[in-house]
Amino acid sequence: MPEPQITVSHLTKTYRVPQREPGLRAAVRSLVHREYRDVEAVRDISFAITAGEVVGFIGPNGAGKTTTLKMLAGLLHPTGGDARVAGHVPWQRRPDYLRRISMVMGNKSQMLWDIPPLDTFLVLREIYRVPAAEFQQTLDELVALLDMSDLLTKPVRNLSLGERMKCEMVAALLHRPAVLFLDEPTLGLDVSIQRRLRRFIAEYNRRSGATVILTSHYMADVAELCPRVILIHHGVLLYDGPLGGLVERLAPFKLIRLTLDGARDEALPDGLEVIEQENGRLVLRAARRDTPALTARLLSTLPVIDLAVEDPPVDAVIDQIYQEGSV
């Protein structure tokens, strides 16, 4: 068992957020006496990752995934706990450490806006002190993999969102980092670009052996890229293991949406739970295994105008898991 590249133990991050009631009197009072509320963004998280793994952090918005990622990238100081990445303590922000990591954020751009991407790459080359030959080789390789040679000379503001994200990926990898943090990289992109990027990330990981940590709330990203997922919810690590096991446990049921013509005078078949009921519309829940059979019975016994079978939304499922307290 190789020595882990990333070890995290009991990592905690608590924010103090100032509290303010609305209104003038409260505003004046707040000048003298500030009230704070503690927000526990990350609570006692521990895990270990070996070099070259591709791990996905999943969980709903505000779960603490990005906060954890930022602590590992050295952008935030934890309130408690410890972490070591590639032999360094991230938040000490040693230049040697910073040269070995990289981060891509789906909702923020690091490209200079009015000039072609190549010019930003040249500046980054200088910042990271990449030797010229190596830079050219890396650039050519990345551009070929992403098929973006015609984009290099267009001003960034003229590129589409997907094209810009390709540039972000190149910018992040020019200095060949050992660890790559991807924070929602496919946010807002169309389906074909998403797939493109996923293939790229997988291929890059295969070729370079870089460790990739990805956060996303698109299950498709995680399913395609990450053999291992870490589920974080309300700052707590709920699951750490292969994706297959989690999917099974996360979504053991399906949702059936029905639109009925007229009133329902038959009782529903067993094994169905009513989630919503309004006028002629029903939302039912059934165990995954039983859904095909139950659907057939519903169609034959009820006056169904419209029927749809859906996976439950991951957020709702995770929320339910949390309410139940465990996976």
Partner 1 sequence: MRAYATLIGQFIRASVQQELAYRANFLISLMHSLLNAATGVLGVAVLFGQVETVRGWDLGATLAVLGVYLTVGALRDLVISPSLDALAGMDGEVWTGRLDFTLLRPVDIQFLASVRHWRPFALVDLVIGIGVLVAAAARLDAAPGPGDLGAFLVAFGAGLLALYAVLLAFIGLTFWSPGFLFSWVFSGLFQMARYPVGLYPGWMRLALTWVVPVGIITTVPAQALAGDVGPGLLAGSVIAAVGLFAGATALFRAGLRRYASASS
**Sheet strands side by side (includes 272-278):** 272-278, 281-287, 253-260, 304-310
Q: How far apart are the C-alpha atoms of 271 and 289, rounded to whole Å?
A: 11
37 makes contact with partner 1 (CB under 8 A): no
Q: Is 76 or 246 the residue whose CB approaches partner 1 more closely?
A: 76
70 binds partner 1 (CB under 8 A): yes
Restricted to residues 219-238, the positions that interact with partner 1 (CB under 8 A) are none
**Which residue, 115 or 275, has its beta carbon nearer to partner 1?**
115
| Token duo for residue 13 | 């991050």
- Runs of H (alpha helix) within 15-116: 24-32, 65-72, 95-98
Residue 188 contacts partner 1 per CB under 8 A: no
Please provide the size of the chain in residues. 327
218 binds partner 1 (CB under 8 A): no
- Coil, strand or helix at 181: strand
Which tokens belong to 214? Answer: 């990805």
Among 56, 59, 67, 254, contact with partner 1 (rule: CB under 8 A): 67
> By CB under 8 A, which span of 3-11, 46-54, 63-71, 137-145 interacts with partner 1?
63-71
Chain residues 93-132 in contact with partner 1, contact rule CB under 8 A? 93, 95-99, 101-103, 105, 107-110, 112-115, 119-120, 122-123, 126-129
User: 10: left (phi > 0), else alpha (psi -120 to 50), else beta?
Assistant: left
Strand 179-183 to 281-287 pairing: unpaired
Binding mask 128-167 for partner 1 (x = CB under 8 A): xx-------------------------x------------
User: Smallest distance, Å, CB 184 to partner 1?
Assistant: 8
What is the C-alpha end-to-end distance of the chain, expressed in Å? 27
Tell the burial category of 108 from Cβ atoms under 10 Å away from its Cβ (0-12, 13-18, 19+).
Answer: exposed
110 φ, ψ (degrees, to nearest 5): -105, 5
Instruction: State the sign of the Cα–Cα–Cα–Cα dihedral 60, 63, 69, 70.
Output: positive
Which is closer to partner 1, CB of 81 or CB of 269? 81
Sites for partner 1 among residues 250-279 (CB under 8 A): none
Determine contact, residues 83/9, Cβ cutoff 8 Å. Answer: yes
CB of 122 to partner 1, least distance (A): 6
CB nearer partner 1, residue 83 or residue 258: 83
User: Which residues contact partner 1 by CB under 8 A?
Assistant: 15, 41, 61-62, 66-67, 70, 73-77, 93, 95-99, 101-103, 105, 107-110, 112-115, 119-120, 122-123, 126-129, 155, 184
